[in-house]
Amino acid sequence: MTAESLPLRPSATGRALLNDLNGRYHRNALRVFLVVVLGHWAEHIVQAYQIWVLHRPVPQARGILGQFFPWLIKSEWLHYGFAIVMLVFLFALRPGFTGRARTWWTISLVLQFWHHIEHLLLLIQAQSGTFFFHRKVPTSILQIWYPRVQIHLFYNTIVFVPMAIAMYLHARPPKRDRDLPVQCTCAGEPLELVGAGRAAG
């Protein structure tokens, strides 16, 4: 049996998968992640519209999925599950970033880690029936001072903005980052070259 025919150990398989995700599949993985994030944003935007434009009570402002599956939108497992998905994507796709794009991506990862902690607190309370901070419902830390809908709009915004900046800088790296070693083929032509090409054409 040759070394090539030996089955990969789980650690080696995981490493190979991460290498592929941050190499040849990085662009497609980022696209899939972006679709997931935008779908989640659509839920929050529809919910905000229902509350502040249609003037529905918060329990009846259920976004898109909640209109068809009311029980689903009330589940803390759904919210925590999405927080974990976001965290896993941000962590797994980080090695593919370099330079300033990596800095912004890391900022998004750190903020999402805290967002995930807030959802974990809510999940623990919902599952245990023990509510923190002398409240009668599951309550996250910032929820002590601010309404839940506004808090999670805020969290999603502060996670999304640095993530979007990172994606832009990754696809269109600034001049000082162009010579950094990269694993993927996400970067297109630098903006200056695109503009110069159009001007010449």
The model's pTM is 0.82
Coil, helix or strand for 90? helix
Position 188 scores a pLDDT of 67
20-68 residue pLDDT tens: 889 999 999 999 999 999 999 999 899 899 999 999 998 888 888 877 7
Compute the half-sphere exposure of residue 67: CA atoms within 13 Å on the CB side of its CA: 7
Compute the half-sphere exposure of residue 14: CA atoms within 13 Å on the CB side of its CA: 4
H helices, E strands: number in the chain: 8, 0
Position 4 scores a pLDDT of 41
Contacts of 100 (CB under 8 A, 6+ apart): 169, 174, 177
Tokens, residue 46: 């529809």
Q: State how far the alpha carbon of 125 is from the alpha carbons of 2, 89, 110, 134, 173, in Å.
A: 53, 26, 23, 12, 44
- b/e string for 98-107 if b means 16 or more Cβ within 10 A? bbbbbebbeb
Domain ranges of the chain: 11-178
Q: Which residues of the chain have pLDDT under 50?
A: 1-8, 189-201
